[in-house]
A and B are shown apart, each in its own frame.
Chain A
Amino acid sequence: MHPAPSIILFTVVSGLGFGLLFFLCLGFPAVSGWTAFVWFFAAYALAVGGLALSAFHLGQPRRALRAFTQWRSSWLSREAVLSVATLCLCGLQALLLIFRADGHPLLGGLAALFCLGSVFCTSMIYASLRTVPRWNHPVTPLVFCLTSLGGGAIMTGVPVLATPLLILLTAAQLGAWWIGDRRFADAGSTVETATGLAAALVGTRTTATAGATRVRLLEPPHTGESYLTREMVFIVGRRHATKLRILSLVCLVILPLCLLALPAAGPEVTIPAVAAHAVGAIVSRWLFFAEAEHVVGLYYGRR
């Protein structure tokens, strides 16, 4: 799949924002007054900025409001509805913390739950697609949610929260790669099922029928590229996948864990840890798209 920068940044940045909002609403760190304003402002900048980035890959962004209507069937629509509901709930909690110096625990809990729900809906847009076997399994939402929560926990600067989440994230990320690498074969789609030709021609010959019937593309339908090949048959850049996986894990969890283990605390530790985590998340998300193979590639002899 084509790794569009707007979608990668949208999922990573809004994920970080919702991760931070999750902890702020639960009272980590316990902030009030102007401090609460600054913390919530940063979290809102990330969450809203990320959501705004998602509009850049739309063909008709002026009609984006229509995306709030089909929550009954579409994960993208559910994500839109839930994100806005989340931002409203978190806003209420922020107002209480800023002006009354004390949030409502029930409201905070509900807002945190909605933060997690928003990230879950984002991940389900991808995890629900049967056409991209690498995404189509339950570990995909786990990685999205843990990346978001891990990032939020690093920003709060509380190692007790961040360390277990980052260890869980490592396990989930490794699991997603391990499952993902086998997923296309397990899904059972081949050029033979895509064309129905092998099954149809088996046993129709009277001579020399030994061996399996194989189908291969002889001529593609067009000599240049098309929307389909640009969007769904993206094969450039996979040769560095192993190096990028290592790089992303180092940035995503190992560097932040080392930084948080330092005896020092405060912004001089948190900021580099968050920056490293964000870079790791962007690399991991780039791989999430670049390595994903869409079954339509079977009709083009490359995936």
Chain B
Amino acid sequence: MTDLPDRSQRRLGLAIDLDICVGCHACVVSCKGWNTTAYGAPLSDSDPYGPNPSGTFLNRIHTFEVKTGDATATVVHFPKSCLHCDNAPCVTVCPTGASYKRAEDGIVLVNEDHCIGCGLCAWACPYGARELDPAEGVMKKCTLCVDRIYNENLPEEDREPACVRTCPANARHFGDFSDPGSAVSRMSRDRGGVDLMPEQGTLPVNKYLPPRPRTDADVGADTGYGGPDNLPPAGSIDVLAPFLEPVAETPSGILGWIDRTLTRL
């Protein structure tokens, strides 16, 4: 049944340090690599060398700009994968029982042999952690590398999720959040780890460690540009700007006809 367990014995998850992530996308690549070649349906690509490449990924890196008033903006790279929520809305909406949260360690998984590919769980997830694979027609999501972390055929140091193992900056940490003495619990306590979209009531396990306090002087030391007196030369950043104009989304065919008719009304 897709009811959630009352309480999972352990709460395995990730602590992601936004102060350290450099946005290199190595975790994205290693995640795709492991999860394509290991258990379950591979993560397919559509039109990989054509004009509209697209693919299934379980981990993606966004980059945000944070700006207060006139202060220099801070750039934050933001990895996002399944947060293995305690109150996972994706599990309870599943009509087939393919989605489930494990009582023993809290990992949220999909049984791909039972999934009908209705996509409702992806709609129920506020974080965009689930993607329907167009080639297999089943839902794919982060497994917290369940086939690595308990895998006795791997050397001890490899028994952690592929994204954590590969991160060259050590921005991703794997551990048990139900143990207050674990490294991830301590990190989250010390750094004020935050939940994403707490108002959605999902009670995520994964914690994001916010960037540490920084002054404009630090930013200047990092970049060579600091404050309003030391801006980059005018015009130096928008050489390519004309090429970045949004492409008009004008529909064609029957939709185009409907569009033109409605515009004329």
Contact = CB atoms under 8 A, between A and B. Distances in A.
A242 to B, nearest CB: 10
Interface in B199-229: 199-201, 208, 210-216
A221 B60 contact: yes
Contacts, number: 250
Contacts of B119: 57, 59, 231
A243 B68 contact: no
A35 interface: no
Contacts of A160: none
B52 A224 contact: yes
The 5 closest A-B pairs by CB, nearest first: A59-B117, A59-B137, A200-B210, A211-B69, A196-B194
B138 A60 contact: yes
A15 B123 CA distance: 22
A131 B215 contact: no
Interface of B: 1-3, 18, 23, 28, 52-57, 60-71, 74-76, 78, 80, 89, 91-98, 114-120, 122-128, 131-134, 136-139, 192, 194-201, 208, 210-216, 249, 251, 255, 259, 262-263, 265
A215 B64 contact: yes
Contact of A197 (B56, B66, B80, B198): B66
B71 A193 contact: no
Contacts of B127: 296, 299
Nearest to B55: A226
Interface in A208-232: 208-222, 224-228, 231-232
Nearest to A75: B93
Contact of A296 (B95, B117, B126, B216): B126
Contacts of A128: 93
B68 A58 contact: no
A189 B128 CA distance: 14
B262 A218 contact: no
Contacts of B137: 58-60
Nearest to B128: A296
